[in-house]
Amino acid sequence: MHWEKIDEKIKLLMFEARKMALESFDTKLNIKTKSNRNDLVTNMDKTIEKFYIDNIKENFPNAKIMGEESEKDQLKNSKDLFFVIDPIDGTMNFVKEKNHFASMIAVYDHQKPILGYIMDMCNGKLYWGGPNIGVFENYKKLEAPRNSKLEDGLLGMGLPMILNDEFNMKEIAKQTSGIRMYGSAGIEFIHVLKGETIGYVSKLHAWDYAAGKILAETLNLTVDAIDGSDINVLSSKIVLVATKSAQAQINQLIHA
């Protein structure tokens, strides 16, 4: 199937999902916890995911789907299109701040990455593209970020990473120009794509990183599990997206 048909449909869905999320600010959310008190899910997470899935199945009936809140098809079983969906990434921000949250969709064809989408919900900016077309912020094509070193940039990091000093993260943090924590993998990926940070490291699930990985690698950034293991199986890993220079330095500090 030609990528333009998929692209047209996904963009329409994501801007409609943005409208749904923003309109929900004026309603009372149904909020529940999942793995712990800070792992939230709302009725809007489920509503938007169902909206995505229903429309994908209607337009691409042979597609397989992995969603954060519901369907869990596996990429290895896909012989056609495969979609990875994160309806609201940064649910805590969505609930507490009504800001700094994203929605993400990754598209694979015959198990190969073709398109990634990250919608900055509050700012209405869609970051999209893939290996055959480049990466765009709405209609503006993005250039690959500078290959900056660790000491020359800001590093996004999940809070537990530095609190628990996992993988020598406190020393890594000292080597940077500063640490940033945005509370949303999608927003973190956007900052790296635009060259505003030189990297981001956190424990992520498939739906947290699938879209960002497609976009980041298209812009010549590295996206790997921090222990060097494979993340193409779409599993939960501590993931590092970074410039190649920063990645090399971080790997050295991890094994110091």
Q: Supply the CATH number for residue 63's domain.
A: 3.30.540.10
Same domain, 54 and 78: yes
Whether 77 has a pLDDT exceeding 70, the answer reads yes
Last residue of a domain, one of 114, 141, 168: 141
Same domain, 157 and 249: yes
Same domain, 168 and 238: yes
Same domain, 129 and 176: no
Averaged pLDDT score across all residues of the chain: 92
Same domain, 110 and 14: yes
Q: How many domains does the chain have?
A: 2
Same domain, 8 and 135: yes
What pLDDT is recorded for position 180? 96
Same domain, 137 and 165: no
Lowest average pLDDT, out of 2-16, 61-75, 158-172, 184-198, goes to: 61-75
Same domain, 114 and 159: no
Mean pLDDT in residue range 217-223: 97
Same domain, 8 and 129: yes
Same domain, 83 and 154: no
User: For residue 116, which of 223, 1, 10 has the smallest C-alpha distance?
Assistant: 10
Same domain, 165 and 104: no
Last residue of a domain, one of 96, 123, 141: 141
Residue 1's pLDDT band (boundaries 50, 70, 90)? low
Burial letters 126-146, b for 16+ CB under 10 A, else e: bbbbbeeeebebeeeebeebe
Last residue of a domain, one of 116, 141, 166: 141
Model-level pTM? 0.94
Q: What is the CATH number of the domain that holds 244?
A: 3.40.190.80
**181-185 long-range Cβ contacts below 8 angstroms, 24+ apart:** 181/156, 181/157, 182/90, 182/93, 182/100, 182/156, 183/90, 183/92, 183/93, 183/100, 184/89, 184/90, 184/93, 184/100, 184/101, 184/102, 185/89, 185/90, 185/102, 185/209, 185/212
User: For residue 210, which of 123, 138, 103, 137 has the smallest C-alpha distance?
Assistant: 103
Q: Indicate the residue type of 241.
A: V
Q: How large a percentage of the chain has pLDDT more than 70? A: 98
Same domain, 137 and 163: no
Domain with 119 in it:
3-141
